[in-house]
Amino acid sequence: MRNLAKRVIFQTLNDKRSVALILIAPLLILTLVYFLLGDSDYVPTVVLDDNAPEQLVDAFKDETLEVEQALFDDPKAYIEDNEHVDAVFEMDQEGTTITLREPSTKSSKAVGEIQDALTTLNPAAEIDTSFVYGEEGQSTFDSFGFVFLSLFSFFFVFILSAMALVKERSGGTLERLLMTPIKRGQVILGYTLGYGTFAVIQSIFIVLYSIYVLGLSSLGNMAWVMLTMLLMAGTAVLFGATISVFARSELQVVQMIPFTIIPQVFFSGLIPLDLIPYGLGNLSYVMPIFYGATAIKEVMIYGSGFSGIWVYLLGLILYAGVLYLLNMRALGKYRGH
């Protein structure tokens, strides 16, 4: 038993990836969580009516709020037309009303600051809250369902393609295939189409199950969600192929997950990018899950069509194109040039 334990210890120490997974990966992820969930310097923007009392405006300005004044007939329409606005505050004889964009951490921060301001004026004031998108008391699944759709669409296809390609390379199948007249680009497209077939089936199942069984709500056309998930799945295949270049076994693919997949989870929409301190939110633009999750959110939460998501679809296509070129270059060494 002692000899077996020693052998396992020395084998693990000789595998640098295993050592990194055990010692370094947890520290890196904890550090990332520390930065992402640290004190945010985000300042909510609240709009008051142009005729709001000066005393009320001053009370708001004393809090951590960006205060604007404007004339508006419909606060919901005003928020829809002004993306930088987090809340519209109204106070009249009928009562006090706060209109927010959607249930989120940003909305909670805005409400908290507004309540602090009102406490100095009227501690007993009752506030009615409404949302432009979503509703108060909705489940966490309804709020973040778009995140899980994108994560599952990407993660499982990534695992399947990366492990399968490592197995084919270690078994010599890939080298024998490259000895034939087939072009490298055709090899990559062949793998992408092959695994993409399963991705299509997976996407259909996930979307239908989420909508008709779990009751996930959606304001937009689910066809755009399907298209986004298919593009994400294709990107995941190419991403898995790229990662497989650096892995010699299926175990090493799993060891890379903390460095390749888990960081993307934090930038998928679980945390509003505006709330991420130190400018780390900009890292989302180099992560494919960001583009897919944002496009799905635009459709499901805001009811957007192609005009609202084409930029994110283009981002996925460009990302897939870059991965395709990287895989072309990587396959060159297996062919000997």
List Cα–Cα distances, 27 to 5, 24, 258, 271, in angstroms: 26, 5, 11, 20
For the entire predicted model, the pTM comes to 0.75
* Segment 79-90, tens digit of pLDDT: 888 888 888 888
- C-alpha span between 188 and 241 (Å, rounded): 9
- C-alpha span between 152 and 210 (Å, rounded): 12
- Which of the given ranges, 53-57, 60-64, 170-174, 319-323, has the highest pLDDT on average? 319-323
Q: Is the pLDDT of residue 4 over 50?
A: no
* Segment 212-243, tens digit of pLDDT: 887 777 888 888 988 898 888 888 888 888 88
Vertex 270, ends 269 and 275: CA angle to 5°? 80
Q: Which residues pair with 95 in a beta bridge?
A: 92
- C-alpha span between 42 and 273 (Å, rounded): 10
* Segment 285-333, tens digit of pLDDT: 888 989 998 999 889 888 888 988 999 999 999 999 998 888 888 776 6
**Could you tell me how many residues make up the chain?**
337
- C-alpha span between 5 and 273 (Å, rounded): 46
Q: Are 197 and 275 in contact (CB under 8 A)?
A: no
Q: Which residues pair with 91 in a beta bridge?
A: 96
